[in-house]
Structure 1
């Protein structure tokens, strides 16, 4: 018990002295920000092509939850940037998805295209919805979780060495996808095992939903 108390006290000290500098955010997180700003109006929140602008323009954007699965990164890059015209059903088009798809070359740089593709992969593979705001979730993760779960969610935070623990690796989709949102929320709110603390009373329900949404993006 004494060792546990000392470990907890050390955890508090580490949290209080952590730098405010955030780790490099996961690619899917950055991609989501681009998607919300540039793509969501047509492709919709869930990527199924039912955004409000699509209805106004009377166009039918691709359902990204299915179309993206069979496309390589090279082809998706061409689709997004408009480079390398593709021929479909005898017609030359600048993309494989829809004639109304804008060409984003000159708007997105290479790293942004890769980040956007990472988020599109998330949309096409995700088994669980994003309930909260991942941007809020990232701030909470950096403040409360990274000391154990690591800067990038790999379960290699500084406290793992000090306490001899092995937190969940959030970058492994086999681990995170095995738990639905309710299970992750319950684990955060109530704690798990000997070393995972209960955050009820510290984090609100909205906070935890945002945190879970950020965790989902870590694995993509």
Structure 2
């Protein structure tokens, strides 16, 4: 049996297991989900202040898609979201009373990249992360650095997905094809194992790993 076939069979079983994920720095993919839970009703999905309740507020919500916020340092933006350095008449809640500092940093990290229209936000990155942990980390490493235990034992070299110079070489379609069709002897095809939407989720998450 080709290596790619037995790897696919092995990881199909692994899909039923769970794993862990360590967050060492602000993570925009987590921030995107927090944003949709806490922020979009005022600021809108795209950050342009057109949320469903914005018209009922005394003051217009800030346009987070503007250059002012896109270029604000993540730490400073998180502090602002938390309720500090803000105008007294602002309608915005002091989110530090509800969210942790890590949550605020994740939201801020997402805001600074939210206007980018690449693959990172086309799929469900949270679902993609869960699939990656269970099916890909053994070879590609827990954070996509290419140093998974199985890859080490087999003696194969994996691309480091966390390095932007590597990921710039791959278009969004390249990533989809890579996950769907596999590559070489050791990267299995996930077609028929994962649905098209799940493949897009994994590809979106992998795109997110490069910072």
TM-score (norm 2): 0.79
The one of the two structures with greater contact order (alpha-carbon pairs below 8 A, sep at least 6) is 2
Are 1:130 and 2:121 counterparts? yes
Alpha-carbon distance in 2 for matches of 1:38, 1:13: 39
Report Cα offsets for 1:92-132 as digits up to 9, x if no partner.
x26xxx94433212112222122222222332556445222
The runs of 4+ residues in structure 1 deviating greater than 6 Å are none
Secondary structure at the counterpart of residue 113 of structure 2: helix
**Residue pairs, 1:106-121, within 5 angstroms:** 106-121=97-112
**Residue pairs, 1:157-196, within 5 angstroms:** 157-196=148-187
Q: Indicate if the aligned counterparts of 1:65 and 1:125 stay in contact, CA closer than 8 A.
A: no
2:195 maps to what in 1?
204
- 208-217 vs 127-136, which moves further: 127-136
Change beyond 3 A, Cα 1:200–1:51: same
- 169-178 vs 144-153, which moves further: 169-178
User: Among residues 16, 19, 22, which one is paired with 2:20 in the alignment?
Assistant: 22
Are 1:150 and 2:141 counterparts? yes
2:41 maps to what in 1?
41
Unaligned runs of 5+ in 2: none
TM-score (norm 1): 0.77
Q: Indicate if the aligned counterparts of 1:140 and 1:211 stay in contact, CA closer than 8 A.
A: yes
